[in-house]
Structure 1
Amino acid sequence: MIKRIFKYLANLKLAILILLLIAVVISIGSFIEQNKEIQFYQNTYLIQIFSIPFWKIIIFLGFNNIYSTWWFLILLMLFGVSLACCTILQQLPTLKFSRRYYFYKQKNQYNKLTFAINSSKVFPTHLSYNLINKQYSLFQQSNTFYAYKGLISRIGPIIVHISIICILLGSTLGSLNGFNSQEIIPKTEVFHIQNIIRNGIFSSIPQKTFRINDFWSIYTSNGFIKQFYTDISLLNGQGLETQRKTISVNNPLLLKDLIIYQTDWGILGLRLKSNSKNNPLIIYQIPISKTNTLNKKIWISALPRINNNLKRFIILIRDNRGQVTLYNSEGKFIKNINIGDNLGNENIKESNLKFTDIISSTGIQIKSDPGIKLIYFGFFFNH
């Protein structure tokens, strides 16, 4: 019974059918956004099918997280088992049969072949020369020859099957045991892995401690961001640094079981200092709001009212290079100021406010994928 099931799974048509189903599912996953909040699907997919909101169908079928659903993993498993059965029951026996030498010496042996034989007298040396010249592998036993070519074509499908099976196993292992976390951390802050956006059924979140030592950006002459960097440290249980690296886009920090990527950046607020003669030193941390315009990030905030006579002023920040732009409440430009400058003018000179820092943050993606080595091995084995 089991042998019959394995023979059925080794069917080429079945493997192609499963592969087509996987391709259809992957295409659905490319159209429907993955790993979003439920509210996103409620606001995006408002149409109804048979009086059922489409977003409910997406959630019920798992189309919001296709690559981790049980039925997609079953499809991958069936495809892998089908390839394994095909390799063991068909490809390996065919390879073994092809490597045997069959020296036919009787006339009735040739009569069993599926093609006609025209016998003619040839010289052995002339025959062997022509076979070798046509890229045949030649074996000779007395006056009998055995020649073959194309053995590599028997090995090729086996290599392809093994590589695909490794990729499938790696993808399944990563889906079941891996996780993905996205953290937005201000510089100089210590953090743990908390904001999990995707995790497998059997995944375990490591209790590691990190510190963002610094964050900075490099800009082009046109004012566009060219690259951003994060100086990050791994800390032990006593708070001591055990590993440190400056990461950037496409240059992650590789740990034993984690990969830490630089993904994004942002600005959380401003620091201002007031040190007038009549008032003690006061440090203000002003929150800001982000908006996007013309594919650029812009942050907007307002100065605090130091006294009742102080008018409200608007601060606009275009990047984290240490410069902000000051506007009045009517939107009229006042001036640009840098870190360390006073905000003083005819309206706010008595407040003696000084711009001391931009509180920037870095976007860190922490990923664990136990199956990535199998996937790389599968691609390497295939090449």
Structure 2
Amino acid sequence: MPSPASYLLLNPSKPFSFRSRLSPPSPSPRLHARRLNVSCDAQPGSSGKAGGVGGRRGAIPAGASKAKKQIVFFDAAPPVSQPQPQQGGSAVEKAESEKPAKEGSGNAALALLRRATKRTLSVLSNLPLAISEMFAIAALMALGTVIDQGEAPSYYFDKFPEDNPVFGFITWRWILTPGFDHMFSSPVFLGLLALLAASLMACTYTTQLPMVKVARRWSFTHSGERIRKQEFADSLPRASIQDLGVILMGAGYEVFTKGPSLYAFKGLAGRYAPIGVHLAMLFIMAGATLSATGSFKGSVDVPQGLNFVIGDVMKPRGVLSVAPDVFNTEVHVNRFYMEYYDSGEVSQFYSDLSLFNLDGKEVMRKTIKVNDPLRSMLARDLQSIVLYDQDGKFVGVRRPSSKLPIEINGNEILIEDAIGSTGLDLKTDPGVPIVYAGFGALMLTTCISYLSHSQIWALQDGSTVVVGGKTNRAKLEFSEEMNRLLDKVPELIGANNENGVDSKSTAT
């Protein structure tokens, strides 16, 4: 085994004679290495020859320096001695002695932070983890459609009792404890959304952005063998790389030439599209989170001719709910009426509403309408008028404007009209514009992601042009396109010598 590098320690305070010995191992527990002690007496001005390892020079004359040096050879690096603090030192000296230690600890902490960050990004950008998060979110969304949302706790006590669990184990505790009675604002659901958002951002930072940087880089090659190893490769005898560049430009490629080399690409937007998809998904999740935690909702039944204040009926739905100024608006129901089909079914509902500010000034008036089948069925039943006689006996049911008379206690009664009340659902949702923008961006970037990013390299080798290329999508179509383009490259007449083609450095 070869001896490791030797380290020298000079100690002028140890007197010794000129001899060599191999000392036993050092007792220090931190250093298990052999040490060779060589002691020598130095005589200034001596002209004697060295007589080998056991030789001796003349005695040191009187008055000469008594200082002696000890040379110690270590097979490994000796432990670094720490300087002992001195009493009475100045503040500047103490600060300078403490500065390297602080810098070392700071660098160690920074290195540890970088390693932790890199490890965290590696875990979050894992594709199976992201897929698992999406499946978990989809499962919770499906569960939220099965479990009735926003009901009072007593409703879940009755529907999911502990003495008769659903499926043998599901009780009200499984619903109320994790907050599944308001699924889309529960901590579990929002936590999964945050985790998926972190995975998307980590994937974008560690994968998509580096891929875009590489794709944007112009990569010329001067090796024909490297070009022939591409997914598509071909050679054009008696051809010019300049003619190939013109044809590629006509096909929509960005072409760059440098000496005998050519590089062309198209469809770079397809490389940006995955980043856009990730951003669109982040917008959608941010909007959904804002809707779940920052919206207001309320409902009210108002008879015709009466008023109500919007803020009196609106209730916050999350911790980020902030009441807007519109809550001070007063709503007046001018009229509520319906239109009927010939069969007597309701065709449309109308509510004529006026909005008043705090000063009592009408700021808007509009007639709103709905046409939902379930809502129509409910409202049609509510608009029926039940009639009783003087003894409280049920007589019949009539609708307004039905023109069907009914006799009560000898009197024929015709129902012409009735003062109805309108049921209004009110909601403020600040996340809706963000969700719409996210879905619009998602559709656009998804379509862009289908664009193929194609790259072509070419090299002028004498009168022959070596061409190769690759693409990330539609590989069969890319080969067919390349064959069509190469067929259009003109053949040079009389180009028999190897240097017949002049390749100039151009950039297009």
Confirm or deny a common fold (TM above 0.5).
yes
Superimposed CA distance per residue, residues 107-165 of structure 1 (whole angstroms, 9 cap, x where no aligned partner): 79x39978797877553255446655776443222331112344232122111111111
1:157 to 1:116, Cα distance in 2 relative to 1, 3 A? closer
Structure 1 residue 102, shift from structure 2 partner: 0.9
- Give, as a single letter, the amino acid of the residue that structure 1 aligns with 2:124: L
SS of the aligned residue for 2:292 comes to: helix
Q: Which runs of 5+ in 1 are unaligned?
A: 251-260, 267-291, 306-310, 340-356
SS of the aligned residue for 1:359 comes to: coil
* Contact residue 399 and residue 415 of structure 2 kept, 8 A: no
1:319 to 1:175, Cα distance in 2 relative to 1, 3 A? farther
d(CA) in 2 for partners of 1:75 and 1:167?
A: 14
Structure 1 residue 188, shift from structure 2 partner: 1.1
Aligned residues: 320
1:225 maps to: 346
SS of the aligned residue for 1:238 comes to: coil
1:365 maps to: 425
- Give, as a single letter, the amino acid of the residue that structure 1 aligns with 2:425: Q
d(CA) in 2 for partners of 1:214 and 1:50?
A: 50
- Give, as a single letter, the amino acid of the residue that structure 2 aligns with 1:236: N
Structure 1 residue 62, shift from structure 2 partner: 1.8
1:215 maps to: 336
1:169 to 1:7, Cα distance in 2 relative to 1, 3 A? same
Is 1:148 the equivalent of 2:265?
A: yes
* Contact residue 323 and residue 336 of structure 1 kept, 8 A: no
2:122 maps to: 7
2:415 maps to: 338
Select 1:381's aligned residue among 423, 430, 441: 441
1:117 to 1:226, Cα distance in 2 relative to 1, 3 A? closer
Structure 1 residue 375, shift from structure 2 partner: 0.9
Select 1:38's aligned residue among 153, 165, 176: 153
Q: Which stretch has the larger CA shift, 210-219 or 120-129?
A: 120-129
Q: Which runs of 5+ in 2 are unaligned?
A: 1-115, 445-508
d(CA) in 1 for partners of 2:382 and 2:171?
A: 33
1:105 maps to: 222
d(CA) in 1 for partners of 2:360 and 2:232?
A: 82
d(CA) in 1 for partners of 2:338 and 2:287?
A: 35
Superimposed CA distance per residue, residues 36-61 of structure 1 (whole angstroms, 9 cap, x where no aligned partner): 23343344345416987623322222
- Give, as a single letter, the amino acid of the residue that structure 2 aligns with 1:21: A
- Give, as a single letter, the amino acid of the residue that structure 2 aligns with 1:31: V
Is 1:18 the equivalent of 2:133?
A: yes
SS of the aligned residue for 2:365 comes to: strand
Name the Cα RMSD after superposition: 3.6
d(CA) in 2 for partners of 1:170 and 1:18?
A: 18
Structure 1 residue 211, shift from structure 2 partner: 1.1
* Contact residue 383 and residue 420 of structure 2 kept, 8 A: no
1:218 to 1:161, Cα distance in 2 relative to 1, 3 A? same
Select 2:280's aligned residue among 163, 169, 172: 163
Select 1:203's aligned residue among 321, 337, 340: 321
SS of the aligned residue for 1:358 comes to: coil
SS of the aligned residue for 2:320 comes to: coil
1:154 to 1:334, Cα distance in 2 relative to 1, 3 A? farther
Superimposed CA distance per residue, residues 349-369 of structure 1 (whole angstroms, 9 cap, x where no aligned partner): xxxxxxxx5231111111111
1:316 to 1:145, Cα distance in 2 relative to 1, 3 A? farther
1:78 maps to: 195
d(CA) in 1 for partners of 2:277 and 2:169?
A: 44
- Give, as a single letter, the amino acid of the residue that structure 1 aligns with 2:148: E
d(CA) in 1 for partners of 2:187 and 2:281?
A: 20
- Give, as a single letter, the amino acid of the residue that structure 2 aligns with 1:48: P
1:207 to 1:51, Cα distance in 2 relative to 1, 3 A? farther
2:306 maps to: 189
Structure 1 residue 64, shift from structure 2 partner: 1.6
Structure 1 residue 25, shift from structure 2 partner: 0.3
SS of the aligned residue for 1:229 comes to: strand
1:87 maps to: 204
d(CA) in 1 for partners of 2:351 and 2:382?
A: 19
Structure 1 residue 303, shift from structure 2 partner: 4.6
* Contact residue 332 and residue 355 of structure 2 kept, 8 A: yes
- Higher strand content, 1 or 2: 1
Superimposed CA distance per residue, residues 54-102 of structure 1 (whole angstroms, 9 cap, x where no aligned partner): 2332222222210011121111111112112222332122112101111
* Percent of matched pairs sharing the same residue: 29
SS of the aligned residue for 2:420 comes to: strand
1:20 to 1:236, Cα distance in 2 relative to 1, 3 A? same
1:53 to 1:163, Cα distance in 2 relative to 1, 3 A? closer
* Contact residue 105 and residue 144 of structure 1 kept, 8 A: yes
Q: Which has the larger radius of gyration?
A: 2
1:321 to 1:170, Cα distance in 2 relative to 1, 3 A? farther
Structure 1 residue 22, shift from structure 2 partner: 0.3
d(CA) in 2 for partners of 1:314 and 1:173?
A: 51
Structure 1 residue 9, shift from structure 2 partner: 1.5
2:355 maps to: 234
Select 1:54's aligned residue among 167, 171, 184: 171
